[in-house]
Structures are given as C-alpha cells and as structure tokens.
Structure 1
Amino acid sequence: MDRTFVMIKPDGVQRGIIGAIISRLEAKGLKLVAAKLTMLPEEKVMEHYAEHVEKPFFPSLKAYVMSGPVLTMVWEGRGSVAIVRRIVGATNPAEAAPGTIRGDMGMETGKNVIHASDSDESAAREIAIHFSADELVDYTRIDEPVLYE
C-alpha cells in the first residue's frame, strides 16, 4: 500500500488544529499508521530539508520548524502522496484553494501549517528519517459502523 509523510508544523500544533487536520485525512479514507508529537532536533531538520540547506530562506525555515512541537505522521492509502497534496493545497496559503488545509487554515508561506511529501521517493525518504519500521502499525481500517447489542 502507498504511504506518505505528513508533518503538522509548530503553528498548526500551537493553534490547536491537529484534530481538524487529522479529521480531513481520515474522512478522505486514508489510514494513519504512525504518529509522533516531538521537538525536531537540528540534525533531523537538516536531513529532512537537505534540498533547501543552501537556499536563502533555509535559516528561517529551520528556526521555525524547531520553534515548537510538530506532529509527524505516516498515512497509507492508494495514491496517498497525490491525494494528500491535493488536500493540503499550494505552499503559499494565499494561493491555496478554499477547502484545502492551507487555503482554510494557513496565513503565510513562512507559517503554512503543514508539510506533505511531494513524491513517492520523498515520502520513503522522509518516513525513514522520522520513523523506524517497527513504529509503523499494520491494522485493518473498518469503515462500517460497529453495531452493539
């Protein structure tokens, strides 16, 4: 099954919108297989954003991502990378469509609430940075209501 990496950034955690974000992903039919509330150490930030280290915006990005707790997650589902990217919306919240997470909850590119893998390769790399194989939980999602007698 396809997997993707999602991180609710410090502004999303501090604003108390974790539940709203998770609800959107679950409602779509994706399955949460790992989650961790953590403060990212510098070495993980450097590894996660390796392609941006030499860019002029990287020092502020690094400071921002390390400024508070983040919720790192792994989501599973057919085509999960593309599906999550559509739900998340454009990087710049001012350009993100209404109905997307960034379009509805983000205010600026520098604090855009959420990160989502942009390819299957990035997802595999990012999952390996933040989770060990034994932290990924395998279970069957039940989409039908359970009836109790």
Structure 2
Amino acid sequence: MAIERTFSIIKPNAVAKNVIGNIFARFEAAGFKIVGTKMLHLTVEQARGFYAEHDGKPFFDGLVEFMTSGPIVVSVLEGENAVQRHPRSAGRDQSGKRTGWYSAR
C-alpha cells in the first residue's frame, strides 16, 4: 500500500455549523494524518480559478458564490491510498442527503 497525500476542503456550511473538529476526528479515526491545515476566505477570483473546469456550467456561478460565502478550511491529509480513500462528495448540492463524513446531523 502506498502512502499518499490528498487535499481536503471543509466548505463554508460545515465551518458555519462548527463541525471542523468532528470532521478532523473522523479523518484521524480513518487513519489519516493531518499534515497541514489553514482557514481562509476565498476571493471570487480564487474560487473561479479553482473550479475553472466547471466554468460555463449552469451551477458554476452558484458554486463560486457558495465557496466565497464564508471561511473554508483546507487541509493536506496523508495515509495509505489517501487519494482513493478520501471522501469526494462534500458539496451543497447533496447536503440534504449527506451522511457519514460530512454530516452535521
């Protein structure tokens, strides 16, 4: 098994719900090491650049607005097969269905 690093974003809605510690605890319980982390507030330009692959899609402007609506927490996680094992669905579009890693329930 390969030790890898992957990038994680805790989005504004989770930061606003004050569940950062819960999410970090889940990362650690799953065997991830949190190598680095930083809280920041994306500018519109940064969000547009980060999500540029979605430019022109119907949800793009809403995504940029959401990601700039409050602070986010970015982290680098390390662990065995981290890229494959890290959860990939942490967005507003599925918040009504969320369970597990990013659930604030």
TM-score bin, normalised by smaller chain: 0.7 to 0.9
Q: What TM-score results when the alignment is normalised by the length of structure 1? A: 0.61
Q: Which runs of 4+ in 1 moved over 6 A?
A: none
Q: Residues 46-85 of structure 1: matches in 2 within 5 Å?
A: 46-85=48-87
Deviations 1:116-145 (Å, cap 9, x if unpaired)? xxxxxxxxxxxxxxxxxxxxxxxxxxxxxx
Say which structure is richer in strand. Answer: 2
> 1:62: how far off?
0.4
Q: Which amino acid aligns with 1:34?
A: G
Report sequence identity in percent.
35
Match of 1:29 among 25, 31, 34: 31
Any stretches of 5+ residues in structure 1 without a counterpart?
107-149
> 1:89: how far off?
7.0
Tell me, in whole angstroms, the C-alpha distance in 2 between the residues paired with 1:73 and 1:27. Answer: 16
Determine which structure has greater relative contact order: mean sequence separation of CA pairs < 8 Å that are 6+ residues apart, divided by chain length: 2
Q: What TM-score results when the alignment is normalised by the length of structure 2? A: 0.84
> 1:94: how far off?
4.4
Q: Residues 1-149 of structure 1: matches in 2 within 5 Å?
A: 1-85=3-87, 92-96=94-98, 98=99, 100-102=100-102, 104-105=103-104
Asked if the contact 2:87/2:101 (under 8 Å) is kept, the reply is no
SS at match of 1:92: helix
Any stretches of 5+ residues in structure 2 without a counterpart?
none
SS at match of 1:77: strand
SS at match of 1:101: helix
